[in-house]
Structure 1
Amino acid sequence: MTLVQLRHLISLAQSGSFTKSAESLFLTQPALSRSIRALEDELGQPLFDRVGKRSVLTSFGADALQRARQLVFDAEELAGSGRQMCEGRSGTVRIGLGSGPGAMLMTPLLKTMATSHPTVHVDIARGHTDVLIRRLRERELDALVVDARSLVPAADLRVASLVEMRGAFMVRADHPLTRWKGHLRFDALRQFPIASTPLSDEVARTLVERYGPGAHPSECVTLRCEEIASLVEVVRDSDAVLIAIRAAAPDLVELALKPAMGATARFGIVTLARRAEPPGLPIVRKLVADLMREQP
């Protein structure tokens, strides 16, 4: 039994004429007859009686017609929902955001969905990369935007749309370090609280190579949390020093350390390999391309 056969049943029931239905369906009359006969054979009951020149539904045919209409309606609704999801007009987008991407993408993503895709359901999760990866594998999330360098390579993960962003030490405009005379060394920063989200092992290695063992995040970071926006607020209102991607806090002042920090974060969109792409993912991908880049 096929949807095509059910549509043939509906058409013939409406017209009562093989000739008229065949014309409206752009079929030959023998082709329509074969379709109806095949459906009757499969169901094991006649669907129509011949009354003069008209084809009239049998009692079984009338019941089959009601079910056929519902099946065709449900199929068309399903197809329509699929098209709407592909076009970003319905469905659900479940995205996990790491700390840096969260600071740059969360508000623009919510605004974009509210204004351009108001019928799409949006769920955003924030947290440590390990937690987000677990939720992705459990299919609680459709995709992640995280620092790819914090990922443990795995065959079941697919990473795309990589964007590299520069890290920096940042403070408020009237911070004492902005008036520092001579070369600014890392030891000078340790006079103040140092704030950071959890950093990747690669960034930690870079800090140690540049500034010595005391620069390892486990040693020097005194204020640590997943929410970079909260850390930025603290740095704006205190003498704390922020370690983060430069683009996450453009209003803060970047400190010119000697030697320069030279560390970057490499953000990417992470999905499960061999899984169909979530319909809302192109929206996220476009935001990553538009927003997660260094400002000129």
Structure 2
Amino acid sequence: MDLKRWSHIVAVADRRSFIRAAEQVHLSQPALTRSIQAAEAELGLQLFDRGTNEVVTTPAGEFVVARARQLVFNSRCLERDVELYRSRSLGDMAFGIGPFPAATLLSQLLTEMRCEFPGINLRVEISNWQLLLKRLLEEDIEFFVADTRNLPPDPNLHIRAVRREPGGFYVRSGHPLAAHKSVTMPQLWPHGVLSVRLPPGVRAVVSQLLGLASPAELSLALECDDVGLLKKVALACDSVLAAPHAAVKEEVAAGELHPLEVSGLPVQASEMGVVTLRGRTPSPMAELIISRLPAR
């Protein structure tokens, strides 16, 4: 069976629809249907159940798709590695970054890249690790930098630790809590907490300090992946900001934000890492950007 047909099988499995898969592989729906039917006939296996709402892989299909996916991936890697070997030149690229590292190191990194390589085009996607992982597996980005504590174990991923990002709670200057030497979590929480999506470990600690029966009961006043926006909101009202220290150091130095000492709260820190696909050779630009990231 040729490689294109294997890629058709993977597309249908991923999109769960012949219509969406046909768009992805640039075929008409009838042509894609014939390709899948020919593959099933050649293999002697039914790969998909054609339901009324979506197409679902059969047990045999799951077995075949897993191996077909690796074939397609290896083929793309080979084509790309040959091109890199032939040119070894810097080129345009895309990568992802989580909200905390975006707030603490992205500005300087991108400034350096633009000053040194003005002819290179970069695309940066700022989002939470769940969406960035999806983009990486779809090969829409080459790598991403994010808090890696909650990444699911996956032999296809390679993770290189970057650094820990300690954080805490902050309020605007003049906030009612700013005058307290220390506060409790029940005193802090009613003011409304602004943060990116809290990792399960942090949710568990905060829930315990609040006396909640389950972390599922914990709710943020504002959850957003844009740390800059969260800072603006915290500076304009009595909400409490949860953020890495490095992201608010300028506001703290200027006296605009005040750190809170929260009794009973252990030190909280994000574990930043670079996540890449194992077996894929990074482009020269990706290698350069990764080398510029701060080490532990």
TM-score over 0.5 for the pair: yes
- Rounded to whole Å, the distance in 1 between the matches of 2:129 and 2:157 is 13
Secondary structure (helix, strand or coil) at the match of 1:259 reads: coil
Task: Please say if residues 172 and 236 of structure 1, whose CA atoms lie closer than 8 Å, have aligned partners that are also in contact.
Answer: yes
Q: Give the TM-score, by structure 2 length.
A: 0.64
Secondary structure (helix, strand or coil) at the match of 2:186 reads: helix
Secondary structure (helix, strand or coil) at the match of 1:280 reads: helix
Residue 254 (str. 1) matches residue 253 (str. 2) = no
Task: Please say if residues 206 and 263 of structure 1, whose CA atoms lie closer than 8 Å, have aligned partners that are also in contact.
Answer: no
Deviations 1:60-114 (A, max 9, x none): xxxxxxxxxxxxxxxxxx78983432xxxxx012110111111123322321121
Partner of 1:284: 289
Residue 263 (str. 1) matches residue 268 (str. 2) = yes
Q: Give the TM-score, by structure 1 length.
A: 0.64
Task: Please say if residues 145 and 269 of structure 1, whose CA atoms lie closer than 8 Å, have aligned partners that are also in contact.
Answer: yes
Partner of 2:169: 169
Structure 1 position 226, deviation (Å): 1.1
Which aligned pairs between 1:1-296 and structure 2 lie closer than 5 A?
82-85=87-90, 91-180=91-180, 183-213=182-212, 216=215, 219-250=218-249, 251=251, 252-289=257-294
Task: Give structure 1 stretches of 5+ with no counterpart.
Answer: 1-77, 86-90
Structure 1 position 247, deviation (Å): 1.2
Task: Please say if residues 161 and 285 of structure 1, whose CA atoms lie closer than 8 Å, have aligned partners that are also in contact.
Answer: no
- Rounded to whole Å, the distance in 1 between the matches of 2:204 and 2:84 is 51
Structure 1 position 235, deviation (Å): 0.9
- Rounded to whole Å, the distance in 1 between the matches of 2:225 and 2:88 is 37
- Rounded to whole Å, the distance in 2 between the matches of 1:215 and 1:221 is 14
Letter in 2 for 1:196: S
Structure 1 position 218, deviation (Å): 5.5
Letter in 2 for 1:102: A
Secondary structure (helix, strand or coil) at the match of 1:229 reads: helix
- Rounded to whole Å, the distance in 1 between the matches of 2:218 and 2:291 is 38
Task: Please say if residues 168 and 255 of structure 1, whose CA atoms lie closer than 8 Å, have aligned partners that are also in contact.
Answer: yes
Structure 1 position 259, deviation (Å): 1.5
Secondary structure (helix, strand or coil) at the match of 1:149 reads: coil
What is the percent sequence identity of the aligned residues? 25
State the superposition RMSD in angstroms.
2.4
- Rounded to whole Å, the distance in 2 between the matches of 1:116 and 1:217 is 47
Q: Which has the larger radius of gyration?
A: 1
Secondary structure (helix, strand or coil) at the match of 2:170 reads: strand
Partner of 2:76: none
Task: Give structure 2 stretches of 5+ with no counterpart.
Answer: 1-82, 252-256
Letter in 2 for 1:120: I
- Rounded to whole Å, the distance in 1 between the matches of 2:160 and 2:291 is 12
Letter in 1 for 2:191: F
- Rounded to whole Å, the distance in 1 between the matches of 2:231 and 2:288 is 27
Partner of 2:67: none
User: Against the structure 1 CA distance between its residues 79 and 168, is the aligned structure 2 distance closer, same or farther, given a 3 Å change threshold?
Assistant: closer
